Amino acid sequence: MIGILKSMATTMKHALDGSTFTVEYPETAPDVSPRFRGVHKFSQERCIWCRQCENVCPNDTIQIVMDDKRNGEQYNLHIGQCIYCRLCEEVCPVDAILLTQNFEFTGDTKNDLVYNKEQLKAVPWYKDIDPLESREPDRGAWIGEGEGEVDYQ
């Protein structure tokens, strides 16, 4: 009996202290970590079409089309199929593909979630966080010397 009363006292304590753990989404936008991996952002200006991202992608989410002179034509990424492993960002030697913190995306059909390079370029930052800053320290292993300021917008 004492145990039951102790249980009841515990829950009543929670009821009376009035604190809540959940937040009112979307009014209160949740904080995401700087390292959080969301929808990709692609910069055609930086891309050298080396196809390493396409190669490393574990489930063929990235599809690149090039013409016969090896100039890039299309860069398609299925953000609904992507498993957000960040390997594409990790292998990219020029920071052309990045995972933003943006996790809010919708589509009426799954085809809507296939983004081409323009759509990928238009993906906004989440709360103006530049993900590269938090991830910069260890990128040296992959890209060697960077090429100065990176501007995606």
Partner 1 sequence: MSTDIEPPRTAETTEDELEALIGDRAIARDDHLNAPGFVINPDDVQDVLADLRDEAGFDHLSCLTAQQYEDRYESIYHMKKYVDPTQEVSVVVPTTLDEPTSQSAEPVFRTADWHEREAFDLVGIDYEGHPDPRRILLPETWQGHPLSLDYDQTKPQVVTLSEYENPIQPDHIDSESDTMFLNVGPHHPATHGVLHIKTVLDGETVLDVDPDIGYLHRCEEQMCQQGTYRHQIMPYPDRWDYVSSGLLNEWAYARVAEDLADIEVPEYAQVIRTMGAELCRIASHMLALGTFALDVYGDFTAVFQYAFRDREVIQDILEDLTGQRLMFNYFRLGGVAWDLPEPREEFIAQTRDFLDELPAKVDEYNDLLTTNEIFQIRCVDTGILEPEVAKEYGCTGPVARGSGIDYDLRRDDPYGYYENLEWDVVTEDGCDNYSRVLVRMREVEESAKIIEQCLDLIEEWPEDEREVQANVPRTLKPDPDTEVYRAVEGAKGELGIYIRSDGTDKPGRFKIRSPCYHNLSVLEQMVQGEYIPDLVASLGSLDIVLGEVDR
Partner 2 sequence: MSRGAPEMVLQVGEPMLPERIGDLTGLGEFGVAGELIAAFLAAFIVGNLMLAMTGLAGPWAKRKITAAFTDRIAVNQIGPAGVGIIVADAVRLLSKENIIPENVDRPAYDVAPIVVASSAMLGFAVIPMGTGIQLADPEVGLAYVFAVSGIASLGLVMAGYASSNKYSLLGGLRAVAQNIAYEIPLVVTGMSVVLFAGSLQMSTIVEAQSQALIDLGVVSIPQWYALVNPFAFVLFLIANFAEVGRNPFDTPEAPTEIVAGYQTEYSSVYFVLIYLGEFLHIFLGGAIIATIFLGGPAGPGPAFLGIVWFLLKIWGVFMMTQWLRSAVPRVRIDQLIEIGWKGLLVLSFANLLLTAIIVGLIA
- Interaction with partner 2 in 6-25: which residues (CB under 8 A)? 7-8, 10-12, 14-15, 18-22, 24
- Any idea what the Cα angle at residue 142 is, between residues 116 and 78, rounded to 5°? 20
Give the residue among 91, 89, 93 at the shortest CA–CA distance from 41.
89
Candidate list 11, 28, 71, 106; residue touching partner 1; CB under 8 A: 11
Decide which of partner 2, partner 1, none touches 134; Cβ closer than 5 to 8 Å per partner kind. partner 1
d(CA 22, CA 30): 10
**CB closer to partner 2, 1 vs 65:** 1
Q: Does 10 bind partner 1 (CB under 8 A)?
A: yes
What's the CA gap between 113 and 82, in Å, rounded?
10
d(CA 105, CA 108): 11
- The binder of 19, among partner 2, partner 1, none, by C-beta within 5 to 8 A per type, is partner 2
**110/19 Cα distance (integer angstroms):** 39
Residue indicated by tokens 């860069």: 75
Question: Nearest-5° angle of CA 140, CA 145, CA 149?
Answer: 105
18 binds partner 1 (CB under 8 A): no
Q: Which of 20/153 has CB closer to partner 2?
A: 20
Query: 14, 105, 107, 116: which one contacts partner 1 (CB under 8 A)?
Result: 14
Residues in the site for partner 1, rule: CB under 8 A?
Answer: 1-4, 6-7, 9-11, 14, 21, 32-37, 56, 58, 83-87, 90-91, 134-135, 137-138, 141
